[in-house]
Chains A and B, each alone.
Chain A
């Protein structure tokens, strides 16, 4: 009996020791939430993968409003989390403020630049990926008209649009691009019904491939494309599986890889601050080719895509960047 108690005590002591030794990761998701099948889902999956493979302790939260972001970061830091990851540019201010107050805690921010000794900024070259999406659209379009539907009308999404337009014109200089934005408020990320109407209207104007950068609103565009038997292109996560045969490809933004690598670096004690850019060359941005869309692509078309990708990486093709040319 006494031995049992001793054993339990010992085991209990041991297990608490173990808990305190695991690396604790806090993930602050954007307002879209972890089930947007797009940007936040990607981040969440990266962190989940790290939880499974690296044995870290993961806690994720979703912001209720922009003032609560700072509190969430603060609370994570106060609870002595080793790494706090902010997903989305909306959290730049929060990370900037909190990182100064908690110099011992590591921070990471996706889609934003914060220069501090304990912050890693993870940026993506979205225009490069969008260029590929544009090339794919132009290659597959029979009418010479393609569409772009953005979520909220903000600089980040304009960057997608500009890259996409350039990609379309690269393959088919005569092609027309129809641009629409779902809305001007945050609601635009989550309004599939309106997105579907826009897609239908674009199809009415003869668009036969539509690329979306509209978060959870994208579901409506996939619906419209399936109804009218045209192609759609997904964004952020690999969305090929959502409607196989309709989703031509997805412009991947590997937030999951960025998140996973950052967590790994903390786990291995190799965390470095500074800006890390993910582009085509390190597959941080890419086009998705898998079992769900392989039937849509012939071998020469696929080769052409890979060829364009190589040319962008080598610098032969200059992709216009909305941030720089604005």
Chain B
């Protein structure tokens, strides 16, 4: 492992240390805070399962950010893509009456297509209109959120509930209710999608080392102009990375609708799309490293919500501070670690 690759982990530890010491200002023991944040997932199997559920979603979100990042795109549109995907998954689950196999196949295929197409918009606008991907993604996030809410509230609202949400998907499609992983973790949100997420990471790692295509993407990321000169199609690269990003965003929607709540609830995502950025940066877009960093961020997300319960003065807002400090120090660590190297090369 290269030295710089270790940098984010040092940054992570430093950020955690910094955040925990902040607790001193609130008359809480930093050790106590650290203990809650890092071990709260061990309270029960359910808590552990919840952490793994967050991990699953964060792996997908991280992949959705990491792949375009390899081509130099800063993709923050995952949030919108997962929202629209979850909505579509739930709508088909509610309204398409078929046997388990056909129904599930339809849900999977259409949801994934939705995610991919919604991400494709970003690539096309970037290529044809030279629109910056960040701006497009921010706008699309809102467009998709508004669209999902409108469809949900006006056409598929669960009449048995006050919550803005769709009805439950048909019983035939709720096969992940009896999932061995879910059963083991006392019916917590985690499901077999966790295994799938890990398989995807390994597969991508393998593809990255074996195929030329990923090298082309990386060379595009390093120098788009040179890459064009070599005769690689820019359109092909942009569309394929964004399609892959959309593919993984769609899986967050599937994880939620098929594996957790069996319906689309407005606002189900604690901004996975943005946490995904932290996950991917922490792992420096390494597909295997993503698994570890997702687990760490999931752990913090879960632990931080328990802080509120376990301490007297810290509230859920502290979890934001914690995440911010960690992301900040991870970003800084890379700079610090490569300082000498850059100095030499200058």
Residues 51-104 of A at the B interface (beta carbon under 8 Å): 59, 61-68, 71-72, 74-76, 78, 89-90, 92
Contact A112 B47 (CB under 8 A): no
Closest-CB distance, B82 to chain A (whole angstroms): 13
Stretch at the interface among A5-13, A148-156, A196-204, A288-296: A148-156
In the complex, which of the residues B54, B149, B162, B308 contacts A184, with contact meaning CB atoms closer than 8 Å? B149
Q: Is A165 engaged at the interface, CB distance under 8 Å to the other chain?
A: no
Q: Report the minimal beta-carbon distance from A185 to chain B, rounded to whole angstroms.
A: 5
Given that A64-B319, A92-B162, A154-B164 are contacting pairs, would A74 and B46 also be in contact in the complex, using a CB cutoff of 8 Å? yes
Residue tally, chain A, CB below 8 Å to B:
29
**Does A256 make an interface contact (CB < 8 A)?**
no
Residues of A within 8 A of B149 (CB): 153, 184-185
Contact across chains for A184 and B153 when beta carbons are under 8 A apart: yes
Known A-B contacts A65-B268, A185-B267; the reply to A72 vs B305 at CB < 8 A is yes
Cβ of B53 and Cβ of A67 under 8 Å apart? yes
Interface centre among B162, B265, B268, B315 (most CB of A within 10 A): B162
Q: Which residues of A contact B260 (CB under 8 A)?
A: 67
User: Any chain B CB within 8 A of the CB of A111?
Assistant: yes
Find the residue from B47, B50, B301, B309 having the highest chain A CB count within 10 A: B309
Q: Is the CB of A152 within 8 A of B164?
A: yes
Which residues from chain B contact A89 at a C-beta distance below 8 Å?
A: 161-163
Q: Name the contact of A67 in the complex, choosing from B44, B189, B304 (C-beta under 8 A).
A: B189
Q: How many residues of B contact A (CB 8 A)?
A: 35
Tell whether B5 is near chain A: CB-to-CB under 8 Å: no
Q: Pick the contact of A61: B47, B266, B270, B309 (CB < 8 A).
A: B309
Query: Which of chain A's residues have a CB closer than 8 A to the CB of B43?
Result: 75, 78
Say whether A173 faces chain B, with CB atoms less than 8 Å apart.
Answer: no
In contact, B319 and A156 (Cβ under 8 angstroms): no
Interchain CB contact under 8 A, A64 and B162: no
CA distance A64 to B306 in the complex (A): 10
With a CB–CB cut-off of 8 A, which chain B residues contact A75? 43, 306, 309
Whole-angstrom distance between the Cβ of A275 and the nearest chain B Cβ: 14
Query: B157 to A155, Cβ gap below 8 A?
Result: yes
In chain B, positions 319-335 with a C-beta closer than 8 Å to chain A are 319
Smallest Cβ-Cβ distance to A153: which chain B residue = B153
* Cα–Cα distance between A186 and B83 once the two chains are bound (Å): 13
Q: How far is the CB of A43 from chain B (nearest CB, A)?
A: 16
Chain A residue nearest in CB terms to B263:
A93
CB neighbours (8 Å) of A74 from chain B are 44, 46
- Which of B46, B145, B266, B316 has a CB less than 8 Å from the CB of A71? B46
In angstroms, Cα B54 to Cα A52, docked, is 38
A74 to B309, CA, bound (A): 11
B309 touches A64 (CB 8 A): no
Cα of A75 to Cα of B260 in the assembled complex, Å: 20
Assuming A75-B306, A78-B44, A184-B149, is B162 touching A61 (CB within 8 A)? no
Indicate whether A71 sits within 8 Å of B319 (C-beta atoms), given known contacts A61-B308, A152-B164, A184-B153.
no
- B304 engages A64 (CB within 8 Å): yes
A271 to B304 Cα, complex, angstroms? 33
Which chain B positions have C-beta within 8 A of A71?
A: 46-47, 50, 302, 305-306
Q: A67-B268, A68-B270 are in contact. List 5 more A-B contacts (CB 8 A).
A: A64-B304, A66-B267, A67-B270, A68-B302, A72-B308
Q: List residues of chain B with CB under 8 Å of any chain A CB.
A: 43-44, 46-47, 50, 53-54, 145-146, 149-150, 153, 157, 161-164, 189, 260, 265-270, 301-302, 304-306, 308-309, 315-316, 319
Q: Tell me the A residues contacting B by CB distance below 8 Å.
A: 31, 59, 61-68, 71-72, 74-76, 78, 89-90, 92, 111-112, 152-156, 184-186
Q: 19 interchain pairs (CB within 8 A)?
A: A62-B308, A62-B315, A62-B316, A64-B305, A65-B269, A66-B267, A67-B50, A67-B189, A67-B270, A71-B50, A75-B306, A89-B163, A111-B162, A152-B164, A154-B162, A154-B163, A184-B145, A185-B267, A186-B266
